[in-house]
A = this chain, B = another copy of it.
Amino acid sequence: MNTPGNVYLVPTVLSPDALFSIPAYVTVIVQRLSVFYVENERTARRYLKALDRNINIDALQLLIMNENQPPDVTIGRKLLLEGKDIGILSEAGCPAIADPGHLVVQMAHSIDARIIPMIGPNSMLLALMASGMNGQNFQFVGYLPVKGPERIKTIRELETTSERKQQTQLFIEAPYRNNQLLKDIVDNCKDGTRVCVAADITAPTEYIKTKTVKEWKKQLPDLHKRPAIFLIQAG
C-alpha cells in the first residue's frame, strides 16, 4: 500500500487585508496543493489568489463543506489513499475547529494519513492571550442560548464555574447580538467579575479590553456586527 497523502490545515485571515498574519510557509505549501475542502468557493479563491497571484485558481478542485453540506469525505479518502495531499480552509482563521473540517480530519486519522496543522490567526487564542486571564485552565463553550431566561442562567453558571475552578470562560455570539450579550453579562454578573471583550481581531479597528463588571457599567462599546469574542473570569 502507498503512503497516504498529507492533510494540510491551511489558516486564513480573520479580517480582510490582514495577510501579515499568515506565515510565509503557508503560501509555499498552498502552491503545492490542488485539492481543498472549503466553506465558500468564492472567498477561498480570492484568498488563495491573494497568497500567490500565480496560482491557477481554475485548475483547483474545491470540495464544499458548510453547515448545510457536510464534507464528502469519500472523495478525500480516495485522493489521500492515492497519495494526493489535500488542504482544508475555513472562512476565518484556523480550520477544523469551528467548521466541518474536523470531519475530514477524522477520516484522515482513520486511514493513518498525516495531518499537519499550520500556524495562523485564531480569535479564541488571540483573545485569551490578550485578556490577561487564566490560560492554564479555560473553557470555550461556543454560542450562548438565544432565549432570555436560559441565556441568563447560562451566563450565571459560567460565572459560578469560573469562580469555583478559577477557570476562564470563553464564548461567542452572532455579531448582531453582541451588544445585547455584553449588556446581559454586565446586568447579571458580580461587580468584581472581569470581562474581556475582543473585537475585530487583527483589523485596524481591533478592540481588546478587560474590565470589571463595575467598570464596564460606566460605558459599553458598540460591538454591533463586529466579530467578537467574550471572556469572563470571576473571583
Contacts and interface: CB of A to CB of B under 8 A. Distances in A.
**At the interface, is chain A mostly helix, strand, loop or mixed?**
mixed
Interface residues of A, number: 54
Interface string A183-220: 00000000000000000011000101111000000000
Contact of A121 (B116, B119, B133, B208): B119
A58 B206 CA distance: 33
Given A21-B119, A23-B20, A126-B117, A132 B208 contact: no
Interface of A: 9, 20-25, 94-98, 102-103, 105-106, 108-109, 112, 114-117, 119-122, 124-142, 167, 201-202, 206, 208-211
27 contacts: A9-B130, A20-B23, A20-B24, A21-B23, A21-B25, A22-B23, A23-B24, A94-B125, A96-B129, A96-B130, A97-B135, A97-B136, A98-B135, A102-B131, A109-B210, A112-B209, A115-B208, A117-B129, A117-B208, A119-B120, A119-B121, A119-B126, A119-B202, A124-B125, A137-B140, A138-B139, A139-B139
